[in-house]
Amino acid sequence: MNPNMHAATTVSCECTVLAADRGPQEPNGTRRIQGEHFDIEFVRIARGEAVSRTPRARAGEEVAAVLEGVLHVESGDERYVLSVGEGIVIPPGQGSRWSAPDSGGLLYRVIVRADAAVAP
């Protein structure tokens, strides 16, 4: 056996499969995958609807991107209008408020848990 080659190992893992998004006909709401250190969410927001995350000291960073439509986001004293393909990073401790005043949209976001820091 070549010393640079390693024997194959088998690793088992548990995965959760979510149904694919069915587009604008999809009911509004959130599909969430929860992990030990962060949550991944697909949030369908209807026209006129808003989705909020409360600011708090233990709130982690939020990284989000718009997959469909045009969404408005407020965080702290800042306000943005984001279109398909645009994203934002919201610092730890700040909340967020996402809305779709003109048309519905689909938001993808990852929320890191502030208390999930990996020990050195």
DSSP assignment of the chain equals --TT------------PPPPP-GGGSPSEEEEEE-SSEEEEEEEE-TT-EEEE---TT---EEEEEEES-EEEEETTEEEEE-TT-EEEE-TT--EEEE-SSS-EEEEEEEE-GGGPPP-
User: What percent of the chain is modeled with pLDDT above 70?
Assistant: 71
Query: Of 88, 84, 80, 68, whose CA–CA distance to 28 is shortest?
Result: 68
Answer with the residue of higher pLDDT: 4 or 103. 103
pLDDT at 27: 60
pLDDT at 15: 43
Answer with the residue of higher pLDDT: 26 or 81. 81
pLDDT at 25: 56
Residue 84's contacts (CB-CB under 8 Å, 6 or more residues apart) are 66, 67, 68, 69, 70
pTM of the model: 0.72
User: What percent of the chain is modeled with pLDDT above 90?
Assistant: 42
State pLDDT tens for residues 22-35: 555 556 677 888 88
Least confident of 6-10, 53-57, 82-86, 92-96: 6-10
The domain limits of the chain are 23-116
Q: Per CATH, is 23-116 categorized as 3.40.50.800?
A: no
